[in-house]
Amino acid sequence: MGGESLALPYLVHDQLTAHLLRADGQEDVCLATYSTSTGRSRVSRFLTHVELPLPGERLVHGNASFTGEYVLRVAATAAARQQGVAILHSHPYGRGWQGLSRVDHEAERSYAQLVLRMTGLPLLGVTLAGADEAWSARSWDRKEPSWFASVRVVGTQLRVNWNDHLIPPVAPRASQVRTVSAWGPTTHAMLTRLRVLVVGVGSVGLDIAQRLAATGIQHLGVMDHDVVHEVNLDRLIGATRDDARRQLAKVEVAERQMRSAATADSPVIEPLQMSICSPEGLAAALDYDVIFSCVDRPWPRAVLNGLAYADLIPVIDGGIDIDTFEDGRMRAASWRSHTLVPGRPCMSCSRQLVAAQVSLDMEGLLDDPVYIRRAGLKPSAGSPNVAILSASVSAAQLAHFVSLTAAPGSRGVPAPLRYVLSPHILEQLRDATLEFCPIERALGQGDRRIAMTRSARLPAVDRS
């Protein structure tokens, strides 16, 4: 796949548009610093700090210009932060992805070498189109700029500006007419180009993956290190007895089912038989634009919780909790769903992740039945689940995806939700970001994120 991707949290987008889109309709300019996130095949750059010009550092006169002192000042700040520099300017009446005029080309090129030498990172050029607030970006890693494939603005809504030359829109097929009529061709062209990853293809993840494929999304990934067992068959819709006998990888079953459901012309489906807790699993995940978290263990959920903020990839998480009486009857059931994005609390703040449990999981102790019993914990593997309720979890997560991308009513994703089965009540949870949340403070840190992955897992304790 071609091209890097630029992402910015919505607060940075708001700060930049407030400066670059002037009331008098003239072009304006400013600088920002960026961090880097290195995926397996994609590099992403994140605008984290806006560095507005001091008096005298830029001139507005139809075509805005800036002084060398301004660039030097921000390059020194960026170097101290181990970040790079971006030069941003506006095209007040532009719409969509913007090209580079001769004047702007020369202005960016003239500083590219200086910035590269001072920061060790390529200068980025970024343009804002005033008519629709669309971004476009390029990197000066050689004499001529390399164009980015996309720019993502990440908040309670995900807005993606695509470089149509590198990632062209695909005309909807006859099999997608009803889908397009639900949210219109613009949204359809945006979301079918998203790279969407489903982590964990058990009952919930397998259902979600097939529905994404049926929607026409071109590029999908599924990640799971596990294989199909006999005990999975009552929940994995589409998996066969033969799959269980051959102990087929869950991602292979998912790929087969997704291919038969897919409506895209030539869907790219990437089966990733690995764990998100490994460095290679994390790197593969960083190539995606949206991730569904369909895993129930604390460690992988903690990894996804971290990357949602540090790597600006919206993570849509969900899970079910079925509570039984001693005699085995169902006492209660509830399922929850939340999207992890800037502007919504992370799973530590919403009490979905407990640090002590994450560290037990990392030590392999949650696989040890003796330890679990002695510590009075609930076993995390093998908890009750039924296919007829897992559909409610996947439905809840998919509804978050629609709010994130199509944003009906311009509302974006909701606060964390919990559906309580016995009284049939849907609750919006009031959890907010805690004052010193280290996860959300690491917003846009990219490769300098809090390390949560490990190369080799401790040997799994035999579960038989």
What residue ranges bind Zn ion (CB under 5 A)? 346, 348-349, 437, 439-440
When the beta carbons of 392 and 433 are compared against Zn ion, the nearer one is 433
Task: Tell me the C-alpha distance between 360 and 367, whole Å.
Answer: 9
Q: What is the DSSP string of 6-55?
A: EEEEHHHHHHHHHHHS-TT----EEEEEEEEEE-SS-EEEEEEEEEPPPT
If the CB atoms of residues 107 and 346 are measured against Zn ion, the closer one turns out to be 346
- Number of neighbouring beta carbons within 10 Å of residue 236: 24
Dist CA 313 CA 297 (whole Å):
20
To Zn ion, the closest distance from the beta carbon of 115 in angstroms equals: 34
Question: At 159, phi and psi to the nearest 5?
Answer: -110, 125
Tokens of 175: 């099999």
In the numeric block, the tokens 């559909």 are attached to 391
Nearer to Zn ion, 348 or 394 (CB): 348
- Contact call for residues 43 and 4 (beta carbons, < 8 A): yes
- Least Å from the CB of residue 440 to Zn ion: 4
Closer to Zn ion by Cβ: residue 83 or 348: 348
In whole angstroms, give the CA distance from residue 338 to residue 427: 12
In the bound complex, what is the minimum distance in angstroms from residue 345's beta carbon to Zn ion? 5
User: CB of residue 157 vs Zn ion: minimum separation in angstroms?
Assistant: 20
The smaller minimum CB distance to Zn ion, of residues 51 and 440, is found at 440
Nearest CB to Zn ion, comparing residues 45 and 344: 344
- Least Å distance, CB 405 to Zn ion, is 23
Of 305 and 390, the one with the shorter C-beta distance to Zn ion is 305
Q: Which residues contact 143 (CB under 8 A, 6 or more apart)?
A: 109
Between strands 58-59 and 65-66, the pairing is: antiparallel
Q: How far is the CB of 439 from Zn ion (least distance, A)?
A: 5
CB of residue 3 to Zn ion, shortest distance in Å: 32
Specify whether the CB–CB gap between 6 and 124 falls below 8 A.
yes
Nearer to Zn ion, 349 or 393 (CB): 349
Q: How many angstroms separate the CA atoms of 457 and 462, rounded?
A: 14
Instruction: Kindly write down the DSSP assignment for every residue of 326-340, as one continuous string.
Output: TTS-EEEEEEEEEEE
**CB burial of residue 200 (10 Å; 0-12, 13-18, 19+):** buried
**CB-nearer residue toward Zn ion: 421 or 437:** 437
* CA pair distance 194, 219, nearest whole angstrom: 7
E-strand ranges in 92-188 read 123-129, 134-140, 146-147, 150-154, 158-162
State the minimum distance, in angstroms, from the CB of residue 300 to Zn ion. 17
Nearest approach, Cβ of residue 202 and Zn ion (Å): 26
Burial of 171 (0-12, 13-18, 19+ CB in 10 A): exposed
- The amino acid sitting at 323 is D
Residue 17's nearest CA partner among 108, 97, 103, 132 is: 132
Minimum Å distance from CB 158 to Zn ion? 19
Based on CB atoms, which residue is closest to Zn ion, 305 or 453? 305
- Judged by beta carbon, residue 91 or residue 338, the one nearer Zn ion is 338
Alpha helices (H) along 216-337? 241-245, 250-261, 279-285, 298-310
Least CB distance from residue 309 to Zn ion, whole Å? 8
| Residue 382, SS3 per DSSP | coil
